[in-house]
Amino acid sequence: MTDLEKRSDRSPVPADWTYAPAPESTDIVRLQERYGLYVGGEWLEAAEHYATIAPRDESPLANVAQASEADVRNAVGVAREAAAAWAALPGSERAKYLFRIARILAERSREFAVLESLNGGKPIKESRDVDIPLAAAHFFYYAGWADKLEYAFPNREPRPLGVAGQIIPWNFPLLMLSWKIAPALAAGNTVVLKPAETTPLTALLFCDVVRQAELPPGVVNIVTGDGSTGAALVDADVDKIAFTGSTEVGKAIQRRVAGTDKKLTLELGGKAANIVFDDAALDQAVEGIVNGIYFNQGHVCCAGSRLFVQESIYEPVVEKLKKRMATLRVGDPLDKNTDVGAINSRMQLEKIEELVAAGKEEGAEIYQSPCRLPEKGYWFAPTVFTNVAQSYRIAQEEIFGPVLSVLTFRTPDEAVEKANNTPYGLSAGIWTEKGSRILWMAQRLRAGVVWANTFNRFDPTSPFGGYKESGFGREGGLHGLEPYLDFV
């Protein structure tokens, strides 16, 4: 029996259970070497191109067009030509096109998820479980509105605006595309959309979905390029501009459309307060804090970047948070076990580094996840600052990275006052088991989205958008149709 005893005592146990790499294959993605502009259902050549890369290792993926002012004007002209016929289609027919798009996105979800993670750097589990399913869901949701607009706006005779110019950010490329295109098309507009400079590929792949859905030419047009392309789109003969991005650029756009009759919606930056009371379900609150700031590397406009903890539980919360951060798996975005992926671009990495350096300099205490970062590519370890004063730059400015500032409060009044003490007003979080306090807080927080005992949840039926310098207009839900319609 001694051999048996040995066997049961035998310890194949490595000190640590290292998960073997579980990379999602990239074979499913077939990229062209070079992309043109998708205008009028065709690929037009552009004079200039630039390389778009994979932030995980800086390897080039494809060359995409840098649309010129003339290219943009042409695209808007094509969209204008297509507008009348598209608007004249019965809503039920427009609906069916959108349903088709939703279905095709779901059918090709793996391909989109892999490409999104490749080009943007976000973990495959997020593009697979959040970005792509939500994008498909948005098309499905707005599809159903296309022939029911009079129920959404009774007695108002809703009519399409014409051509919408849409400019989207790099943090949720396909999802933001769907937030823009789905309601615009449902309302009967045609669109010219400019993807973010660093993440154009899923938008370009989306053109193939448009083709498969047999959408009439010119209804969806995609022009890639940098900020100058976006500026050209704002200046072009469009009826509406919808922009998601930084507050700085949002203000510039608001100035550019000043005095014109272009409708405008802006979904801009944020510096959300995530407020934890001492009676909260602590472990779930810690999960919410982690999800609030490390989801998508903190590249989230509604990220819970300011954590307010009630002083009586400050220590246990910070303790639990640090322990939880240590279990975050940072690395290859394509690995199915990765929790935190690559920073989207060198520029963004430098901005994060600059603000973190400022935090240290101002006297905040820094803690970073003990993780090994890959050598190539853009990476930043999940970071938390304690001993942060309201006045520090890290507590004021949007970092748009995996960097959390922890502050304390003593009473609900103080929590509200500190949370609202910012020019932004996109989102906020509340963690408490007390129902009446949730509603009291929710009423007073000046933010467009308030998550109570949860954070970073999104749904096509749920309106999203900011107060104050976080922008105006709503995306999602019935309310998300209004910015794309004209009324009597």
Q: Which residue has the tokens 């942060």?
A: 388
267 is catalytic: yes
Strands (E), 128-219: 159-160, 163-167, 190-194
The single residue of 111, 301, 469, 475 carrying the catalytic annotation is: 301
Q: State CA 3 to chain mean position distance.
A: 58
| Residues whose CB is less than 8 angstroms from the CB of residue 30 and which lie 6 or more positions away in sequence, other chains included | none
Q: CB of 89: closest distance to another protein in angstroms?
A: 26
308 with 280: CB under 8 angstroms? no
Q: Which residue number, 396 or 453, has a Cβ lying nearer to another protein?
A: 453
Best CA proximity match to 480, nearest among 140, 260, 152: 152
**Rounded CA gap, 447 and 415, in Å?**
14
Q: CB of 281: closest distance to another protein in angstroms?
A: 4
Amino acid sitting at position 57: D
**Rounded CA gap, 131 and 50, in Å?**
25
Q: Which residue number, 199 or 310, has a Cβ lying nearer to another protein?
A: 310
Q: Which residue number, 185 or 302, has a Cβ lying nearer to another protein?
A: 302
Q: Which residue number, 32 or 461, has a Cβ lying nearer to another protein?
A: 461
Q: CB of 151: closest distance to another protein in angstroms?
A: 12
Q: CB of 113: closest distance to another protein in angstroms?
A: 13
Q: CB of 167: closest distance to another protein in angstroms?
A: 16
The single residue of 267, 398, 469, 482 carrying the catalytic annotation is: 267
276 with 308: CB under 8 angstroms? yes
Tokens encoding 215: 């959408």
Please name the helix (run of DSSP H) or strand (run of DSSP E) that holds residue 452, with its range, or none.
Answer: strand 449-452
301 is catalytic: yes
**Rounded CA gap, 295 and 304, in Å?**
10
Q: Which residue number, 86 or 141, has a Cβ lying nearer to another protein?
A: 141
Dihedral sign, Cα of residue 464, residue 466, residue 471, residue 474: positive
- Residues labelled as active-site residues: 267, 301
